Amino acid sequence: MSRFAAALTGSATMMLLVSCTAPAGKSEAGATAVAVAQAEPNVAEIRSAIEAANQKWAAAMLAGDMTDAIGNYADDAVLMMPMMPTLNGRAAIESGMKEMLTMMKVNDAKPSTLDVVASGDLAIETGTVTMTTTMKGAKPVTEVGKYLTVWKRQADGGWKIIRDINNSDGPPPKAK
């Protein structure tokens, strides 16, 4: 079972236990309403934080600023990008992104959050991205793709990426 599924299962179990145990002097219906109100995260607030983080990432990519570009990633994050090995941990993500940016320049990056679902301290974002890049000695190329990102609430209340995967909507590269 994935870490996310385990977290959801744990949250569902806790909610069931809380809703089935009425505090002294309160009805079971009142206890259920309190448990549900406490367990449901504010998805609109989370989405707003994620969208702000995505805009910071896009600006950092345009500026070639790796510190800000990977600022949304937790220390133990995992990044899976097309045609690259999995990058495990923030240091590997920074190294991989720096290497990628030595080969190309990002001319434009537009992430767009389509949906956010949240449970407890985890949020799953699905979205699309349009990115224009220029490889050294080549003409600019615009790609459209999609991504799925898992965010985790941090102790300070902020959100960091713990899992990130993306791919292009375009055809696969042709064999030479």
In this predicted model, what pLDDT tens digit does every residue of 59-76 receive, in sequence order?
999 998 888 899 999 999
Pairing of strands 141-153, 122-135: antiparallel
Amino acid 59: pLDDT: 96
For residue 161, is pLDDT > 60?
yes
Beta bridge partners of 164: 79, 149
Q: How far is CA 37 from CA 11, 21, 28, 119, 171, in A?
A: 13, 15, 14, 12, 45
For residue range 118-142, list pLDDT tens digits in order: 999 999 999 999 999 999 889 999 9
Query: Across residues 25-54, what is the average pLDDT?
Result: 73
Contact 120, 63 (CB under 8 A): no
Give this prediction's pTM: 0.75
